[in-house]
Chain A
Amino acid sequence: MSSVKTTAGVETGLTALAVSLRGVTKAYDNGVMALGPLDLAVRKGEFISLLGPSGCGKSTALRLIAELSAPSSGVVRLARQESKAQPGHVQPGHFQPGHGIGFVFQEPTLMPWTSVRENVRLPLRLAGVPKADARARADEALASVGLVDFAEAFPRELSGGMKMRVSLARALVTDPDILLMDEPFAALDEITRFRLNNDLLALWRRLGKTVIFVTHSVFESVYLSQRVVVMSARPGRIQADIRIETVEPRGEGFRTSAAYSDYCRTVSAALAPSYSGQSTL
């Protein structure tokens, strides 16, 4: 789809960028444009949120970045460890998928027939990591989300919040550079969601991953991210790109501060055109 001619130029950019989308579009099979053209650059270690109404293509954008689907046009580029090692061999879209990316779905998406530890170990198992090593790393990932005591439990024995933590541990077990999260906390109650928000922030500060977080909650996006990218629907385009600057590390104090509500107002205002106009639902 894309040629190698830009490799050198991108290579210099890649030292700072984790993900770059250029002129990316996605059309449905029936020809209707779902997304784009979309230009987005995410720096390494950045926490950004994609915020927009349902049907604005934010999940589609995430699936494109994860290479779970291919763009109709444009280029999706990811910086990965492999690309630094041998830049000449890197072809966009031809990476060994998965190693650089952790994906957390809207639902916990756990295998109900096996234990929590086996669920977390799955990505390593698929990659052929030896069992003892994989078990140790799975337990480590479970410890990082505070679930080490539940390694032997089956998913159905856990609460919704705990299942989501397992899903997060599974995404972290391969130690990916980029964490993609598709409305992971949308189905949880607010109290559980607040707690997981704080846990996620703590994890992000400790591990320094690049996080792209899809949400339809203004409040969640402002609380979590350094940048909120507001998208409009049909086709999905970037409406606004708002930087959230505050004293780090953020905590519960930020949630009740005046700055927080100011940002929420700004973001809501940027979102307004997509719901104040004629209804598309």
Chain B
Amino acid sequence: MNAQATVAAKPSGAKRALRFVLPVIVFAAGLLAWELVVRIKDIPPYVLPAPSVIFLTLIKDWAVLSQSLAATLLTTLEGFVAASIGGIAMALLFNQSKWVEASLFPYAVVLQVTPVIAIAPLLLIYLEQQTAVVVCAFIVAFFPVLSNTTLGLNSVDRNLAGLFQLYGASPQQTLRFLKLPAALPYILGGLRIAGGLSLIGAVVAEIAAGTAGAGSGLAYRIAESGYRLNIPRMFAALLLLSLAGIVIYGVLALVSHLVLRRWHESALGKDN
């Protein structure tokens, strides 16, 4: 019976491994093809650099690129934290009063639907450059936190709300013991979206800002390298941005999983 169980378990284990291995194989194959095409056709690096050249550039320019990476990540983090606090706080405010929600919600939507690339130049006129960049990241990331938290606060089980009423819970108690825990999965979902969006907001604002200096981020490096036709460095910076996005998403997904794993459907295995 044990043997049977192992046999039965094996395909699913293999399947899981395949899910992980297949994208890696595709990635490796893509890189190989790219490398081969560049070498065989003898394409110059300023037209299309080979992956090996990009990798070497990454190492060679690490001093410049790592500084830019740190600048971009700091902007992203500041924008993300501001959007998280602002979005949750505003959702709580909306939840307290229908009138506040009715008065302010349309403007939150306006902020969301206006392309940030169009707002950025204006912000750069009125604000200091670093502040303007953070504000852009905030604007892009703010709305998903707000709307998800609002949705979560409004999805409280009706009977549980009745129970709290029955036991004479104060508004603060209801918020702390009922509404916030019930909204937590939604809030975490909003934060997961906001993490990636604040990186996008930061990059867009950096490109719009376009000023050189010690604090220039990765997006600025890309623009600058473009002007200089330093194509390998453009690719290297792009690679770093992409990796940063993946790490941000991964960290937030992990946090969400750890917080919810004991009770929420989204974090439970399918067989449970």
Contacts and interface: CB of A to CB of B under 8 A. Distances in A.
Q: Size range of the interface on B?
A: 20 to 34
5 contacts: A67-B166, A105-B163, A109-B160, A123-B167, A126-B168
B178 interface: yes
Given A68-B162, A126-B164, A126-B173, 5 more contacts: A66-B166, A97-B166, A112-B264, A122-B177, A156-B268
Nearest to A63: B162
A96 interface: yes
Nearest to B165: A68
B213 to A, nearest CB: 47
A113 B168 contact: no
Contact of A109 (B163, B165, B167, B262): B163
Q: Is the interface of A mostly helix, strand, loop or mixed?
A: loop
Interface in B235-272: 262-264, 268, 272
Contact of A126 (B169, B184, B264): B169
A107 interface: yes
A113 B184 contact: yes
A129 to B, nearest CB: 11
Contacts of B166: 66-68, 97-98, 101, 103
Contacts of B121: none
A126 B167 contact: yes
A143 B181 CA distance: 27
Q: Size range of the interface on A?
A: 20 to 34
Given A113-B181, A113-B263, A127 B163 contact: no
Nearest to B178: A111
A125 interface: yes
A114 interface: yes
Interface string B160-198: 101111111100010001100110100000000000000
A105 B162 CA distance: 10
B157 interface: yes
Interface of B: 157, 159-160, 162-169, 173, 177-178, 181-182, 184, 262-264, 268, 272
A126 B272 CA distance: 32
Contact of A97 (B168, B173, B268): B168
Interface string A219-240: 0000000000000000000000
B166 to A, nearest CB: 5
Contacts of A126: 164, 167-169, 173, 177
A154 interface: yes
A167 B169 CA distance: 18
A112 B263 contact: yes
Contact of A156 (B162, B168, B182, B263): B263
A154 B261 CA distance: 11
A63 B162 CA distance: 10
Nearest to B174: A126
A112 B156 CA distance: 12
Closest 7 CB pairs of A and B: A98-B167, A109-B159, A113-B181, A126-B167, A112-B263, A105-B159, A123-B167
B167 A97 contact: yes
Contacts of B160: 109, 111
B264 A98 contact: no
A41 to B, nearest CB: 23
A101 B166 CA distance: 8
